[in-house]
Structure 1
Amino acid sequence: MILLLSNKKIETFINSNYFNQFMALKISPYSNSLYPAANCKTTGYHRVWIRDNIYTNLGIEAAGDIKTAVKNIHALLDILLKHEYKIDWMIKQPYPKLRWRYIHPRYDEQGNEILEEWGNKQNDAVGALLWRIGELNKKTKILRDENDKRIVQKLVYYLEAIEFWHDKDNGMWEENEEVHASSVGACLAGLLNIQNIVHVPLHLIAHAEETLKQLLPRESKTKDVDLALLSLIYPYNIVTKEQAKAIIKNVENKLLREKGVIRYVGDKYYYKNGEAQWTMGLPWLAICHKILGNNAKYIYFVEKTRNALTDKGELPELYFADSDEHNENSPLFWSMSLKAVAENFKV
């Protein structure tokens, strides 16, 4: 059932019932300002993902702590400065495009690469970082010195070298190598947001826009709908209103479940009598509806987010299909952060 409330009542309802819960959870970083995906070593989620840190960063700002958000970005830049030689190599000699040669999306707690086979071709993580740097730069001083500016410029040249607009990467879910709209879109958003800070060749933007024109509203050749597409609405805001409506409609019609959103049809990760329900999808849909001005649907999905909380007041990574049983990655910082954003979102 969708609740029909005035805008003022919606804001009061959200602020009084939800936002303080995020504050009480106190999502905490390592001493170097990097964040794990979740506090769970048995699954490896104690490790540091660039992408997860960016989404966690959004929640930190939503909680009103922009200084901590800036420290987190500085910590991510320090990782890339540590591996600058690798970025230089890819810029100068992009072929062969082997997975291990790409900027790794995942590191240990000290910001070191993890030397094992992994789907390291995750261009959206680079785009996400560029986008976030540009976004925070509108509000505060984000780059500390010339070293920061140099590495940010090299990230642009890195994306140019790998020809991200038609590069087959592993995508947000670290799986099949194909051209993903969510990855191309993340890079496009990052380049657009960073062009007032460093040089961005205009042909990169043109190539990315053409790829999205050909792909959307699909995620890729093999996936007509994917949870990752919501990122093109929030946080990146690079699709038209009509495209956003089409993406949301497809996600709700094909992927929405009772306690979360499946990533895509046929997802085998934690498959148990059906695809797993990812909790992050609920606050994500709430935010997307808020952006489109659908306040009734916004409050509906905030309520669904609340109903997905565990007895400890946490959003786990996922619930198994048609079940109240969740996996051990709880709370998932990405989910908790989108929850905080949804509860305090202003268009």
Structure 2
Amino acid sequence: MQALHTVLDSMRLPNGAYIASPSNDYSYVWIRDVGYAVLPYLNSNCDRYEKTYHALLDLFRRYEWKIDIHTRQKPVLPYEYIHARYSKDLTELLQPWGHAQNDSIGLFLWGVGEGVRRGKPILRDEADRRILQKLVDYLACLEYWQEPDNGMWEENVEIHASSVGACVAGLKSIRMLVDVPEELIRNGEQTLSKLLPRESLTKKTDLALLSLIYPYQVVSRDMAFHILYDVATKLERKYGCIRYKGDRYYNEGREAEWCFGFPWLGLCHAVLGEEEKVLEYWEKTKQIIPENGEIPELYIGGTDRPNGNTPLAWAVAMTILLHERVQKMALVRVNT
């Protein structure tokens, strides 16, 4: 699997962040994609993980003036939100975009907390800690638990369970580092209890719900199995999973099939200790890994052709993570 690490490294920038893909459409830095792309290095001895989070902290420090405004005044227009997508030098882009993506902020906070818990030198100084506090205050000002956003797929503006869950996970993760009012977490948990197992009012089942199991682990075991059943029975296809029924992105008669769906399902089952299911999804994942390791974003709906966003850093990272889980399982079996 060294080839996969090589592919992932090819999308790593000198500043430590990752582009989503070298394609013309995706050669940008998304906070969310970066957070998932660097997960294979959370438990490693190399410095990739902390370097990535230092790059994102520097980004937030550059736009601290903007965060300050929206810790007091809720953003209204898309550009007023903390941007979800940036240029390679981590500066804002002028093109209109659906930047209301609260899950990316939740993921960032979760990633900081997880890194610190594992002894990573994430926070360099008090300025970094100050940024964390201001991001907590930003989510409070937004009233994230009842604030419609564009969600993980950057589309419909509505309340998304995956966005609320990301914020809950992020706030829990950093409460040992900064001041996080318990009510801020409790409000999000109450929204989840009302909304789940739906993703939103318009989507009963959505691939984004897997994030509540892996990496966040913010749902009960019973709810996790409910989500997994819904995704497997309603969204799973030949090359991965569709995001949700009726998805129009790269749809040529049917919904596009996203490759990271298989390893993501495997990782969720790993969280639940379902080893046979982990192996089942590893076998499915292996079938969609090209010889060069350049795993695409998706297969165009109704075809056997991948789209141009190849390789996708997020998909490569998820595959690396599932392979590592399978290796650990095999090692445990040998030693018992």
- Relative to the length of structure 2, the TM-score reads 0.94
Report what 1:111 is aligned to. Answer: 90
Match of 1:158 among 127, 132, 138: 138
Residue 169 of structure 1 aligns to a residue whose secondary structure is coil
Q: Is the 8 A contact 1:60 1:337 kept in 2?
A: no
Gaps of 5+ in 2: 330-336
In the alignment, is residue 47 of structure 1 matched against residue 28 of structure 2?
yes
Name the aligned partner's letter for residue 122 of structure 1. Answer: Q
Query: Which amino acid in 2 is paired with 1:20?
Result: Q
Out of 129, 142, 167, the position equivalent to 2:147 is 167
163, 177, 183: which is aligned to 1:183?
Answer: 163
| 1:247-287 per-position Cα deviation (integer Å, ceiling 9, x unaligned) | 00000011000111000000001111100000011100011
What displacement does 1:322 show? 4.4
- Rounded to whole Å, the distance in 2 between the matches of 1:189 and 1:308 is 31
What letter corresponds to residue 197 of structure 1 in structure 2?
A: L
| Structure 1 unaligned spans of 5+ | 1-18
Aligned residue number for residue 5 of structure 1: none
Counterpart residue number, 1:35? 18
Equivalent position of 2:201 in the other structure? 221
Shift of 1:311: 4.1
| 2:332 alignment partner in structure 1 | none
Give the deviation of 1:30 after TM superposition.
1.2
Q: Which residue of 2 aligns with 1:135?
A: 114
Map Cα deviations across residues 205-225 of structure 1 (whole Å, 9 max, x no partner).
110010000000100000000
Within the alignment, does 1:242 sit opposite 2:225 as a pair? Answer: no
Corresponding residue SS for 1:91: coil
The Cα of 1:79 is off from its aligned counterpart by 0.5
Residue deviations 1:82-106, cap 9 Å, x none?
Answer: 0001100011222x52211110011
On the 8 A contact 1:59/1:336 being kept in 2, the answer is no
Describe the superposition over 1:24-50 as per-residue Cα deviations: whole angstroms up to 9, x where unpaired.
43523111111100111x21x110000
Counterpart in the other structure of 2:334: none
Distance 1:69 1:252 in 2: 31
State the Cα RMSD in Å: 1.3
Whether the aligned pair in 1 keeps the contact of 2:8 and 2:317 (CA below 8 Å) is no
Alignment of structure 1 residues 11-26 onto 2, 5 Å: 19-26=1-8
Question: Identical aligned pairs, as a percentage?
Answer: 46
Q: Shift in Å at residue 343 of structure 1? A: 1.0
1:49-86 deviations in whole A, cap 9, x for unaligned?
00000001102336x35411100000001001000011
Q: 1:65 to 1:119 in 2, by over 3 A?
A: farther
Provide the rounded CA distance (Å) in 2 between the counterparts of 1:56 and 1:264.
22
Answering whether residue 311 of structure 2 is matched by residue 331 of structure 1, we say yes
Query: Retained in 1: the 8 A contact 2:33–2:314?
Result: yes
Matched residue, 1:90? 70
1:114-139 deviation line (CA, Å, top 9, x unaligned): 11211100000000000000000011
Distance 1:324 1:234 in 2: 28
* Aligned position for 2:179: 199
Q: Is the 8 A contact 2:98 2:150 kept in 1?
A: yes
Residue matched to 2:103: 124
Deviation sequence 1:303-325 (CA, Å, 0-9, x none): 11111122422210000234321
| Equivalent pair of 1:258/1:322 in contact (CA under 8 Å) | no
* In 2, Cα distance between equivalents of 1:88 and 1:114: 20
For the 8 Å contact 2:242–2:256, the answer to whether it is kept is yes
Give secondary structure in 2 for the equivalent of 1:220: coil
Which TM-score applies when normalising by structure 1? 0.91
* 3-state DSSP of counterpart to 1:287: helix
